[in-house]
Chains A and B, each alone.
Chain A
């Protein structure tokens, strides 16, 4: 298999940030401005390639597009195999959008060169994770993101940065260690069945697993993803890491790194272990709901604005987990969309929090207050982002949450009902925080000897950093159709694959909801014929299955989703 396109868009998406890091390493550290400019140019260049990828992406196809496959470590069966589909496309775009903004919004810091080198390396790692079609390549990139984040938190974080950085690294590393064993075990099961040693996702999805194997491997993989996301009981590293990270770091951690976990769940858990997913879905749904409620409750009692955002992030990741394991097309589309949405508004929230911190030097909500009078524009921006985060219709948070809840309601009614509590909680803590920070009275204001401290309005530069995020938040809230059109075919094919995979196994676990939710549109039915992980067992003949062409097969132009269904 060679490159389907003349220009290797996906490979350059990984190599441009990595190359930027290399160039930055060679620049003298005294030239701070040049270093920043080069880093920014690199990330904007990556954004350009990502936009070109969006342009090249053919809407309405379920399978991987623009694949590029080259041998990497042939002796160990590892290949440089990249591809993009409806699930990864917008995550890649979101990554490309957030990195330049994080660089711009991070503000000045000591040792700029090291900072931007780590950020560039992190971008390469994130891009590689989202694009890899080789499980081990994915794991390499997935793990490679740890090192830059460790240094970003450890080098530029707040007071307890050492603790937070080490906790973050060790926690995620332990989980990944289990996943690595799972990957290798899966590969050897596959090798014993077919005789070929490969880490390719498409090939591994065709491995025949017994019920127990599927469940065990699912648990091994999910360990890593659940910690990374984080899913409720495995989250304890995240508030520390998010709160102690520097501004740029929190944006990337909560906006992008967390998505690696949920992306892994959708791409690998659902793709490789349909049976395990169906067996353990109730457990994961419960954990998702627990995360939503726990995150909401804990966020509501936070006195530290940054920690509040961190816990709200935990609650929102719970929604994404809920959507991923509801196993309906709507919920999964909602989860994919919500990953992008959450990335955008969480990044904006962390940016705003960092702007406030830069002016006041504190995250403590009680020591802020009344900022709206001094900075009305900032207050308005904060309000917009906050409303998106609460899930107010017309803004992007609503679309994703609605799809997730509606989709979950079809098959798992009570989980959806419980998750509704989280929506209410989000309104409670975010509105309370907004009220305190922007309208409330600051404690200590009554002391007469201390004149009211000035508070600068949003600067033009800060406004320019926030503007793209706000625009996207509104755009995705008003008109999500083009995005959903690209997400839905892949998602439908994946759901069909899960349904088929869960039936082929020995255990009698066919949930009626699965089959009812599978094939809804004519477009998705044909979309199944593409290579999405052999998921077409129900819909098409085995002959079609064997031709696992990675080139997309055209489908009828019937739109898969009409806005919000």
Chain B
């Protein structure tokens, strides 16, 4: 360090006033610094640029920042594998395999999130840099939670993670639902933060420290005779985490927030909040409270069962795809809790593996939902997906892969993630929990399949009947001269149906369609519900890149899962 830098360092300046600041090992928090620095850079660029820069510029920059932080995380990973784990910044930050894996996950989420946001913001004509800046801050908070070794830092991370997410939920100011989502999320989130802080206070009162490792060694060396305060603190901490991961019964905000928020923000929110919260939860329970395992395992057991079953059962009756996916994400949270509940390093591995798989799947799924939602981000009824496979085979195919992976179909990452947590759970002798989890997965297949069937099961003939449900003026109109003629959607329907009938007649004449089938198709045409207009389904190249990454990861690592399994295993070897 040069003399000048040493002189200007805050430690030096403040030490003069008698406050001793710890030595800061900047490499240990490099990924967070890159995200925050990148965020400042983006804000600076947007402030000095004379006119609005296109959203793609910011998306590119965000993806670049994400890649830089990914590289920094991998460097840390390499250091940890070579030199072992280390603490930094007065033991408040712990860099071990686990933490670096969380850093890697967050970086990946930032990159993927940027791709899916770009297409959406462009279509919705949301200008500006705010979305990307908020995403970067939020991800840095999740990173902090994963590497924190101090309850205070966990709380700071939680807030850094959450506050930008509240804003992202309400970013779409033109829709009331978005504001409502932000308000709900904020109020309940603030409440849960308060509970969390109270838990920290009680834990500190019982143990005399907020450092996770110190608390752990204190509890290992001392027997707390009257442990009501300690258990109270632990319970409140669990409630706080429960809110963030949307575990039942702390899930109430999830469906409303997911349904109201801008769609790509939902994917990002689901991924990053779960990574951060589960990362911190695993660390707090495993390295701080292993001695209280008999106390927290039954609580998590109950939470997991409720989360699994409620998520799967309520999702079945949803007609709105975003709400359905919200409940499905609750179900997934239950699966991750399975690994936490096991209380073993195998369980931690399984949870991390599941987190990675889930993040990729949820980002990709909401990426497709954002496209299908159409301009205005309103069309999330299941009828929008009817016959999608015939109009956008690639988009529907990607969605089908992602949904089947979420259902746990074999040869996708989703299967192995479920297998992994089930293995961990059974190794910990939680047979009933594992059985309930798999049954909930089986229930969940029902609603994933309903969506898949809507896309694939409808015959090609049905695509013709076009009727746009509710759309802002001009938004749903198919391009070309016909579209300018009001009322929207009714005009193309007539000739289109006629042409469908024509096609059927031709097919029948050619012997391609048997009579019964043609009748069925004709009947189906009559009761065809609203189907999204083709022109409303713009898929930007950004979304394609994101989808290619998500689907590719899902399939390739589903057929050959060894690399990722080994990655997760190494992450917890030193845990």
Contacts and interface: CB of A to CB of B under 8 A. Distances in A.
Contact of B456 (A71, A108, A155): A155
A159 B562 CA distance: 43
B446 A158 contact: no
A177 interface: yes
A188 B438 contact: no
A74 B569 CA distance: 11
A131 B229 CA distance: 58
Given A140-B411, A180-B419, A111 B514 contact: no
B156 to A, nearest CB: 35
Contact of A181 (B435, B456, B517): B435
A336 B566 CA distance: 40
A165 B455 CA distance: 14
A361 B515 contact: yes
B15 interface: no
A173 B442 contact: yes
A169 B445 contact: yes
A181 B511 contact: no
A402 interface: no
A144 B569 CA distance: 26
A140 B559 CA distance: 10
A147 B565 contact: no
B415 A143 contact: yes
Given A73-B416, A76-B419, A108-B511, A188 B457 contact: no
Contacts of A409: none
A4 interface: no
Contacts of A169: 445, 449
B501 to A, nearest CB: 16
A156 to B, nearest CB: 9
Nearest to A182: B435
A75 B565 contact: yes
A173 B439 CA distance: 9
Contacts of A57: none
B220 interface: no
A75 B562 contact: yes
Main secondary structure of the interface of A (DSSP, over half): helix
Given A166-B449, A180-B422, A143 B565 contact: no
Contacts of A358: 514
Interface in B400-434: 404, 407, 409-411, 415-416, 419-420, 422-423, 426-427, 431, 434
Contacts of A76: 416, 419-420, 423, 561, 565
Pick from B460, B515, B516 the residue with the most CB of A within 10 Å.
B516
B357 to A, nearest CB: 14
B441 interface: yes
B453 interface: yes
A73 B565 contact: yes
A177 B426 contact: no
A170 B431 contact: no
Given A72-B562, A143-B410, A166 B446 contact: yes
Contacts of B411: 140, 144
Contacts of B427: 188
Nearest to B512: A108
B435 A178 contact: yes
B434 A181 contact: yes
Contacts of A151: 456
Contacts of B520: 158-159
B435 to A, nearest CB: 5
Interface in B106-137: none
Contacts of A361: 514-516
B439 A174 contact: yes
B398 to A, nearest CB: 13
A185 interface: yes
Pick from A72, A161, A185 the residue with the most CB of B within 10 Å.
A185
Contact of A166 (B416, B419, B450, B517): B450
Nearest to A144: B410
A73 B446 contact: no
Contact of B422 (A110, A170, A184): A184
B383 to A, nearest CB: 14
Interface of B: 404, 407, 409-411, 415-416, 419-420, 422-423, 426-427, 431, 434-435, 438-439, 441-443, 445-446, 449-450, 452-453, 456-457, 459-460, 507, 511-517, 520, 561-562, 565-566, 569
Given A169-B449, A177-B438, A184-B434, 10 more contacts: A73-B562, A75-B569, A76-B423, A147-B409, A161-B457, A166-B449, A174-B443, A176-B442, A181-B434, A185-B426
Closest 6 CB pairs of A and B: A177-B438, A174-B442, A143-B410, A140-B410, A144-B410, A361-B515
27 contacts: A72-B562, A75-B562, A75-B566, A76-B420, A76-B423, A76-B561, A108-B512, A143-B410, A143-B415, A165-B449, A165-B457, A166-B450, A169-B445, A173-B442, A174-B439, A174-B443, A177-B435, A177-B439, A177-B441, A178-B439, A181-B422, A181-B431, A181-B435, A181-B438, A185-B431, A361-B515, A361-B516
